[in-house]
Structure 1
C-alpha cells in the first residue's frame, strides 16, 4: 500500500541532498513524520497547504517501513500513518510536483 507525504520544495531539496529527512517543522514538533493514505492526501493538502504552490508529493510503500510505521487516530477519527524514524531517500517510490490550480492542488491521475 502506498502512503503519501507532501513536502515544501526546500524540504524536499534538503532530503535529496542529504539522503534523509526528519520531516517538516510540524513533524519535528510532533516527534514523527506525518503521512496520508490516498483517501486522505487531498484533504491534507487543502487543510495544511491551501495556498502553497511549490510542493512535492512523494509515495512510499507502507510495507517497506516496518515497525517504525504506526497507524494512529487523528483527524476525524481516521487512522493516519506516522513514521517514527527518519525518512530515507531510498524509501521513496516516486515523487512529483504538486502544483496549485484554480480549484486546489492538481494531483496525479490515478491517485484521485
Structure 2
C-alpha cells in the first residue's frame, strides 16, 4: 500500500461523514488537498500548521493507489516534496483514520479510531 496522510479537525470531518468524497475547507483557494507522506513528516506538519489548535485532530490514512483524483508530488517552501490530491478524495481511498494526540505539547500520531 502506498500510504499518504491528510490532517483534518474532528468537527470538520464530521460534516463529511456518509458522503462519497471529502474536500477540505481551503480546497477552493488551494485547488488541491494537502497531504504528507511518512509519520515524521506528518508530525512535523501537524506541529507547524496546528500548533495552537486545541480541538481534536484526525488523520485520514489514504491509499494513494486507490484515489480517484490525481496525486502529484510538489516541492513546498520548506524544500520538501508533498503529495497533493487534485480533486475530491474518494471514501474508498481512506483505509483508516487515526487520532493525533498531544504529548508534551507536541502532536504525535495516535491510535486507529476506525
TM-score range, shorter chain: 0.7 to 0.9
Bigger strand share: 2
Could you report, residue by residue, the CA deviation over 1:44-83 in whole angstroms, capped at 9, with x for unpaired residues? 1011011223111111111222661111111322111000
1:13-32 aligned within 5 A: 13-25=14-26, 27-32=27-32
CA RMSD of aligned residues (A): 1.9
Instruction: Figure out how many residues of one structure are paired with residues of the other and give that number.
Output: 108
**Equivalent in the alignment of 1:37:** 37
- Answer 1 or 2: which has greater helix percent: 1
- Match of residue 89 from structure 2: 87
Task: Give me the whole-angstrom Cα distance separating, in 1, the residues matched to 2:4 and 2:25.
Answer: 17
User: What per-residue deviation string (whole Å, max 9, x for no partner) do you get for residues 21-62 of structure 1?
Assistant: 22132x331100000011421111011011223111111111
Q: 1:91 to 1:67 in 2, by over 3 A?
A: closer
Gaps of 5+ in 1: none
Runs of 4+ in 1 over 6 A off after TM superposition: none
